[in-house]
Amino acid sequence: MENNDLNKTLQTYRDCVKKLVSAKRYSHTLAVEQQAKKLAKIYGADEFKASVAAILHDIAKEMPPEEQLDLIKTAGVEFSENERQNQKLWHAAAGAAYAKSVLKIEDDEILNAILNHTTGRADMTLLEKIVLVADITSDDREYNNVKNLRAIAETSLDEVIAAYSVYIVAYLKENNLYISEKTKATFNCYSKFNK
């Protein structure tokens, strides 16, 4: 595709997301896209794919739970019984399902980046890492240590994922919330990058 066609495609996806989410969520989506493009440039990843996955990562976030589950089932997206235990994880699988069944995206790299942007997984692809890190370090994020993670993201995606997985596992444990198998696998795989 030529640049003009690529830009039209990205705008079509942005317009689709804008119709399905709140203004605040849409603003977050655009911030994640910008961060994903920046990280894709740094790491030599496909910027178009990074933009697509970032734009679509939260497309199903505000859909009713039943609609999310229907999308997941209809599209046949990987969704374990383990993940079903935590409703906050559903939007990632539903987003991948929406991209696959409604938007007719067939690129597994993009679909997996959407699918795994919340939990991560062991041995992620570069695109999966970029979308996960872009989501947690986008300019709209304001939690403690985010500035430090943004700086680290420019030199090591693995270190950001390691730090984030330590934080998220501790948070889930402290709040007596369910820890998915993918989150555990991310923690175990990337903990070697903790400094």
| Domain positions in the chain | 3-142
pLDDT band (50, 70, 90) for residue 85 = confident
At 142, is the pLDDT very low, low, confident or very high (cuts 50, 70, 90)?
very high
CA 91 – CA 58 distance, rounded (Å)? 7
Per-residue confidence (pLDDT) for residue 1, from 0 to 100:
64
Q: Supply the CATH classification number for the domain 3-142.
A: 1.10.3210.10
Mean pLDDT score, 112-137: 97
Global confidence as pTM: 0.94
**How high is the mean pLDDT of the chain?**
93
Structure confidence at residue 90 (pLDDT): 93
Banded pLDDT at 33 (limits 50, 70, 90): very high
pLDDT of residue 98: 97
Q: What is the dihedral of CA 58, 61, 65, 69, to 10 degrees?
A: 0
Residue 125 has pLDDT above 90, yes or no: yes
pLDDT band, very low/low/confident/very high, at 80 (cuts 50, 70, 90) = confident
